Amino acid sequence: MADEFDHAVTALRIACGAVGKLKADELRQLVEGKGSIVFLPLGASVVTTGPDVQAVRRQLDAFSGRGEAVAYLDSLKLKKPALVTLARQLDVATNGKDTVDEIKRKIIEGTVGTRADAAAIRGGSW
């Protein structure tokens, strides 16, 4: 019984520490029932949802140049975790140190950029 009590006290201390690290908006959402605190076991990973990858792929395939793709990705207003997930789904390699702009550049180069480069080479305009 004492062990269970000690574990409960320790868990409450950890939970209070986690709540104390929340930003004001996150705390408000938690209190209003619009957010929750989730247990994540060691070694587990968080999967971030984002836009429909097939719709994004179709849109990127429709662009003939990098400029259009940049504007499109900017319009999605995705945060880094969603961009990383999108890149992964588009088979574009990223690493944890990449910035949001670097991830967008890699997505564009891995999709529109490779197609534009191939078209330029085939057309002899390189």
Q: What is the pLDDT of residue 16?
A: 93
Q: What is the mean pLDDT of residues 25-45?
A: 88
- The pair of structure tokens assigned to 92 is 């574009």
Q: Give residue limits of the domains in the chain.
A: 2-31, 53-123
Q: What is the pLDDT of residue 124?
A: 61
The Cβ of residue 107 has, within 10 Å, a number of other Cβ atoms equal to 23
Task: Give residue 126's pLDDT band: very low, low, confident or very high (50, 70, 90).
Answer: low
**Residue 81: C-alpha distances to residues 31, 63, 113 (Å):** 24, 24, 22
The Cβ of residue 66 has, within 10 Å, a number of other Cβ atoms equal to 15
Buried b (16+ CB within 10 A) or exposed e, 75-102: eeebeeebbbbbbeeeebebeeebeeee
Q: Mean pLDDT for the chain? A: 88
* Percent of the residues in the chain that have a pLDDT greater than 90, as a whole number: 55
C-alpha neighbours within 13 Å on the C-beta side of residue 59: 16
Question: What is the identity of the amino acid at 81?
Answer: P
Indicate the range of 30-39, 71-80, 114-123 predicted with least confidence.
Answer: 114-123
Q: What is the pLDDT of residue 40?
A: 85
Distance CA 73, CA 57 (A): 11
- The pair of structure tokens assigned to 85 is 């997930």
Q: Name the residue with higher pLDDT: 117 or 12.
A: 12
Q: What is the mean pLDDT of residues 71-76?
A: 95
Q: What is the mean pLDDT of residues 92-98?
A: 93
pTM: 0.58
Task: Give residue 14's pLDDT band: very low, low, confident or very high (50, 70, 90).
Answer: very high
Asked whether the predicted pLDDT for residue 81 surpasses 60, the reply is: yes
Distance CA 103, CA 92 (A): 9
Rg (CA), the chain: 21
